[in-house]
Structure 1
Amino acid sequence: MTEKCFTRMGQIGIAVRDIDRAGTVCKKYGMGPMRSFISTEKSVQNGELYGKKVDSIRFGTLMYEIDGVTFELLQPLENTVWSEFIKNQGEGVCDIMFTPTERYYEVLKERGIEEIMKFTLYNHKFSEDDIFTQVMRMHDTRKDLGFNIFTWDQTEEAKKRVYPRDHMATGAYVQLEDGTEPHLQKPMYLRMEKILVVVENLTETMAAYEAYGFGPFTEIEEKEGLYRKACFTQNSDGSDVVFEIIQPLDDESGYAKYLAKYGRGVYNILFEQNPEYNNVIQTMTQEV
C-alpha cells in the first residue's frame, strides 16, 4: 500500500455567503457550541493567493465540533479561495483539513498540484521566547480528489500546541456559546458517518486517492445504469468516517445533475442521527 500522506482528518471547511444565516441553520440542528475566529492584520498575515502575495486575507468564521471533527463555516471577505468557490460552485464543502506527513508534499510535486492559498495565523507572543505562529496552506487537489486539502506546516513549534486550548489563548477567537444553551441540549446529530464525493471516472479517481495514501478501498459496487462506487475509512480524533466515491452512470439522478452542473465535488455529508429524533437523517449541506 502507498505510504500515507496524513495521520488524521481534522476539519471540514464549508464556504457560505452569509455567516449569520448559516450559523442560524446550524443551531436549528443543535450544532455547537459555536466559536468564531477574528481575521485581522495581526491574526492573519503573509497572505498569498494563487501564488501571488496579497495585502490581506479576510474571512468570517463560525466553528464547532461534532465527535472530534471541526466544522468551519467560512464567509469570504477579501482575497480568498472561498470567494472563487462560491462564485463557481455555490455554497458547500470547499476543503478538508488533514494533518500532513512529509510524503504529502512529495506527492504534490509528483502530481503537479499547486498551492492556491497560504497565510500565517496568530503571531501571538505567550512570552519573550514563545511566539505562536502557524502557516496554513491550501492545495488544488480537487482535480484529484473532489475537494481541496487544507494543512498547516508541521513545525516543532506548531506540534507542541494543544488544539483548541492554545489557539483560543491567542485572543484571535471568541467563544460564542458555553454549551448550556437550550438548543445544544439535544443535538440532532451525534457524529459524521460518511462523506459522498461525486466524480467523472471512479477508477481513475481511486488511483489518485491511493497516490495520497488513502485506502484501502472496498471492491467496486455497481448498480446497473445508475452508479459505480467504492469506499474507504478515514480516521479522525473521534469516530472513523467513510468516504464514498461515486461515479454516476445515468443523466437524471442527483449525482449526475450535480456532476453536470458543478463538476466533481463533495455531494453530501451523512450524519448519525440522535435516536431521540424520529425524522429521517438530513444533511447539513442541503441548507448550509
Structure 2
Amino acid sequence: MNKLLFKGALLSLMLVGSAGAQSQDGLKVFISVDMEGITGTVNVDDVRRTGKDYDYFRQTMTREANAAIEGALAAGATEIVVRDSHGSALNLLPEMLNRNSKLLRDWSDGPMVMMEGIDASYDAAVYIGYHASAGTPNSVLGHTSSGDVTNVSVNGIRMPEAGYNALMAGHYDVPVVFIAGDKAICDEAKALLGNVETVAVKEGIGQAALNLHPEVAREQIRAGVERALRNLDNYKPYKLRAPYTLTLTLKTEKNINKGALYPGAKRTGDWELTYVGKDVLEIMSAYKGMRR
C-alpha cells in the first residue's frame, strides 16, 4: 500500500471511530405525554375517545409532543423516545409525530406505565400534557392515576403522577428537566422536584380554564425544552431514601378490600392501604397491583 492509500485508510478509520463515539455520547431524551394538561382540554369528554372533540385534541397533543421534540433536537438530542401516556396509550398520531423520534404505544404488564422504556441510558426526561394530583384546587382535570384514587404518598410526600414518575426516572439516575401542563401541576412539580423548567399552558378557574393560544403554547414548550436540555447540569434526579413507604387512599370499600389482597399490603386507615418496599420499582409494582 502506498503512502497516499495508507493515509486515506487511516483517515477513514478515524472518522468511523469518531462517529461511533459521537453516537455513544449523544444526548438521549425520554418524553412522556399525557393529555389532560394539553392546551385547550378542560372537560373529560375532550380526552376520551367517545368525545366529539377528541380527534382535535389528539392532534393538539401530537403537536405539543412535536414542540418538545423540536426543542430537544435544537439542544443536540441524538435519540428521542416518546411514550404515549394517556388512557389507552393509543392517542398520539404516528404519522404526525416528528420523524426524528420513536413512539412507544399501548401498555405492558410492568410497573413503569407512563415511564415504560426509560432506563439508565437516558440523559433527561420531559413531561408534556401533565396535570395536578386529585383534589388540587384550580387544577384542570386533576386526578391521580384513575378516578378510584384520592391520594398517593411516598415516605409521607403527596405525589402527583409527575412525582412518582420522577421517582422512577430517578431510580435510573435520570433527571426530570421540563414539565408542561396546567399551572397547578407546574406549581406542584416545582414544590416537589425543586429546580425544573415548566410551561403553564393553561390556568384553572374553578371548573373552567384560561388557555394560551396553541401556537404560543408550542413556542414556549419548544424554547423551554431546549433551554432545559442545554443546562442539564442544573438538574438532579429525584430520589427519596429507602425503605419506601407507599400510602394509597381509594374511594370505595370494595377497592380497599381488593387492594388489601396484594401480598405485603396492609390496611392502615379509612380506605387507606400501606406497602413498604426496598426500591422504587417494588412499590410501583405494588401500587399497580393494589389498584386492580
TM-score (norm 1): 0.27
Higher helix proportion (structure 1 or 2): 2
Q: Larger Cα Rg: Structure 1 or Structure 2? A: 2
Higher strand proportion (structure 1 or 2): 1
TM-score (norm 2): 0.27
